[in-house]
């Protein structure tokens, strides 16, 4: 039993959700620049017409970790004054 194709569907859904969340937080233009891809490529990932490479998902996860404060952090970060 191969199972490879069936495994892509849930994984791609997770990847697409992460990209959509990052695009909502940062904006599609900024996310495309960060990932070094065109808006057309980003749109194809968001629409599901093109498979999202795992290295792109990892870059998006890193980006989300950078732009979102840790749970329980005060709004605006921890910088003082």
Other Cβ atoms closer than 10 A to 7: 10
Q: How far apart are CA 11 and CA 16, in angstroms?
A: 9
Q: How far apart are CA 78 and CA 69, in angstroms?
A: 9
Per-residue model confidence (pLDDT) at position 13: 95
Per-residue model confidence (pLDDT) at position 81: 38
Give residue-wise pLDDT tens across range 2-38.
Answer: 555 556 668 999 999 999 999 999 999 999 999 999 9
Give residue-wise pLDDT tens across range 29-79.
Answer: 999 999 999 999 999 999 999 999 999 999 999 999 998 766 776 655 544
Contact 24, 67 (CB under 8 A): no
């Amino acid at each position: 039993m191969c199972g490879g194709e069936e495994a892509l569907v849930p994984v791609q859904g997770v990847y697409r959700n992460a990209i959509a969340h990052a695009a909502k937080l940062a904006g599609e233009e900024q996310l495309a620049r960060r990932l070094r891809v065109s808006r057309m490529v980003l749109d194809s990932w968001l629409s599901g017409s093109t498979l999202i490479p795992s290295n792109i998902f990892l870059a998006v996860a890193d980006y989300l970790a950078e732009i979102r404060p840790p749970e329980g952090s005060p709004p605006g970060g921890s910088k003082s004054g």
